[in-house]
Chain A
């Protein structure tokens, strides 16, 4: 096959580029578009401990990589208290103090972001089948009757649980259900009651506690949830409706009946949970996620550079895009420009002046420069001194325009100082040569061509989507490389040639 080597190389480069981009976008969650912020919750547990001047110990159950969230930050604030975090089956913050003051405040604070990719619960142990409890009457009869009903209408543990929960939560309860509901006063007791009933069917179950994040609130309550084990994995159910699954934005705080708070030597303090919501850049969330995943990709990303260097790269990375544009416009369209990449440098200069002013200033400088250059021709200077003279004139022109625009209060005029003067001087020199040897029309055509390419380059290279994408996914340059390789082997006609060779066609037609 023709150009097989180049095509394979381009294919490999594309595969690597697309692979890396896909990995970074879908696994690490790097944003494809600029200014993508993500919701971040800060959940705080506040304990007001009233001590009695003696040794005290406070143990607070805390979440451990909760499912559907990613932990961005974790803080423990406890002046004077010693802290140990016990990573057991249930993670526990263990505060201790030799002499607890009259009152002190302990905080546990965790910052989280949504992460649909993590759904694993921390406790995955397969439980033993519970013993059938001996129910006191009249409950025993009621439970047996309900279980018989449910068993008839279910096929497996999941459908059994769902059916049971539907019956127990029925809007029109029968007398058995009424009886079971009668002595439960809280949601937690209600889940216990359900677990108790499930034991009658020898289904292992457990209780989860978590916070529903949603909107910000100051007094959030831990919410109990039910899980049953089907011999394979834990299934979650809403204890109040039987709906399977965990609620949205449910921050799992602890698993099981163990108390959330255990104290020693002090009065049991009250826990106050509060939730605040804020927004953070997706990139910082992705960074954290990469760290959690143990991915090295973000360690070697441009985000680790000092901010000033980052800004330099934000510009540099767009240069190949501009160069690719030049390839496209020259080899596929057939636009004539002064110098191959001169328009790209002009486009970079336009970043400071912005488009309209850039074009006006560029045209002004080149036009005035050309006038001087034609005059210099009369003086018959040698090439290098003549170029030096043109550079000097260009710099003087820049200064004059800056000073004049400062007087007129036109701030844009000042930004002209960043124009690449050597490039301008070379442009003037080449334009004057073309002017004399190929005529003014050719010179102006190439000049306009350069300016048009520079304008398109400016629009593409400063587009926020492009700059953002290249900075976050610099491997996109591999795609640029692949495309330039392919365009390097393009042997088809240029668009302008279709026009140029039209003569051949027309003529042919009249002849035959």
Chain B
């Protein structure tokens, strides 16, 4: 029924309490949280540092600006609406096209303009934000995901999550949307997390809702053996993101665009623990390894190289 705590400790499995007390509270300065909690600020910082992000079409900050929404999107058929301070992928709507007066969602459902404006006003009143604080809505470029994932994805956009500790990538997985997750790349909602080898970018076994699974439930394709394109670039982007927000324990979410390559979608100061299940490797092993280092590699390239030589299963 239960795993023995001793065995988990041996495997280096990180628990929530320890993640909070020993990593998030120790390595993440509270004053830097707003940089990642507010996606607008993250985007701004990333752009200044020359990191590729999905283009921002517009921001809606007041109820009044909602009226200008149809004007804002008149030139775009496809776009994504996001609450700037949404947590865990909540409140994101992906519009994949138009059908007369209607907007078409990723799952094929149609929305009226009226529905969208109500949705925007909910975002502004803080329905999806952390702590229910007033928020603003971002309208941005819809990622054209790389066809390499066609076999392993249902509707939504798969994203790569890299855990970066003290600037060094320590674990990575790719989250694949399923029918159950309603096209969202969120493990809590039924998406599959698939571990990625830090060195080669090759995918391994998948995990869904704490169960190990080696095939995608909708496409029935094997999750193993796919090589993530631009892997080296993804690793470097992740290490770079840790520098711009100065957080010691960070989750970096990256999507692969067909034309634009890897784009940083968002950063997370409290990344979840499923990555260790997906990789079948406890996070503590690499975290402790990095903590024991007397001097950390400095440049982005060195850090990635360090991760790829020392933090992978031999």
- Could you list which residues of chain A lie within 8 angstroms of chain B, going by C-beta atoms? 331, 334, 380, 382-384, 433, 437-439, 442, 488-495, 497-508, 511
Contact = CB atoms under 8 A, between A and B. Distances in A.
B240 interface: no
Contacts, number: 91
Nearest to B127: A383
B302 interface: no
A508 B280 contact: yes
Nearest to A434: B90
B8 A493 contact: yes
Given A383-B125, A497-B15, A503 B90 contact: no
Given A492-B17, A492-B18, A504 B280 contact: yes
B114 A380 contact: yes
A501 B127 contact: no
B84 to A, nearest CB: 16
Nearest to A332: B17
Interface stretch (B38-46, B102-110, B205-213, B257-265): B205-213
A501 B90 contact: no
B5 A493 contact: yes
Contacts of A382: 121-122, 125
Given A442-B188, A503-B210, A505-B11, A492 B5 contact: yes
B3 A505 contact: yes
A439 B211 CA distance: 18
Nearest to B280: A507
B183 interface: no
Given A380-B118, A384-B125, A493-B8, A502 B3 contact: yes
B16 A508 contact: no
B250 interface: no
A498 B5 contact: yes
Given A439-B189, A498-B8, A503 B212 contact: yes
B65 to A, nearest CB: 15
A492 B9 CA distance: 9
Given A502-B1, A504-B282, A507-B280, 16 more contacts: A380-B121, A383-B122, A442-B188, A488-B21, A491-B17, A492-B15, A492-B18, A493-B5, A493-B15, A497-B13, A497-B15, A497-B16, A498-B5, A502-B2, A503-B212, A504-B280
A495 B2 contact: yes
Interface residues of B, number: 36
Contacts of B189: 437-439
A78 B211 CA distance: 89
A334 B91 CA distance: 26
Interface string B149-191: 0000000000000000000000000000000000000001100
B46 to A, nearest CB: 26
A276 to B, nearest CB: 61
Contacts of A505: 3, 7-8, 11
Contacts of A500: 210
Interface string B55-73: 0000000000000000000
Contacts of B188: 438, 442
A495 B4 CA distance: 10
Which of A497, A506, A511 counts the most chain B CB atoms within 10 A? A497
Contacts of B28: none
Indicate the member of B16, B205, B211 with the most A CB atoms within 10 Å: B16
Q: Shortest 9 CB-CB distances between A and B: which pairs? A: A383-B125, A380-B118, A491-B18, A493-B15, A498-B2, A502-B3, A507-B212, A505-B3, A491-B21
Contacts of A380: 114-115, 118, 121
Contacts of B207: 503
17 contacts: A331-B17, A334-B16, A383-B122, A383-B127, A384-B125, A439-B189, A488-B21, A490-B17, A492-B15, A492-B17, A493-B17, A497-B8, A498-B5, A501-B3, A501-B13, A503-B212, A503-B277
Contact of B126 (A383, A439, A493): A383
Contacts of A490: 17, 21
Interface string B185-227: 0001100000000000000010100111000000000000000
A442 B11 CA distance: 29
B22 interface: yes
Contact of B3 (A384, A488, A489, A498): A498
Contacts of A501: 3, 8, 13, 210, 277
B308 interface: no
A503 B281 CA distance: 11
Contacts of A433: 127
Contacts of B115: 380
A499 B5 contact: no
B13 A499 contact: no
A407 to B, nearest CB: 39
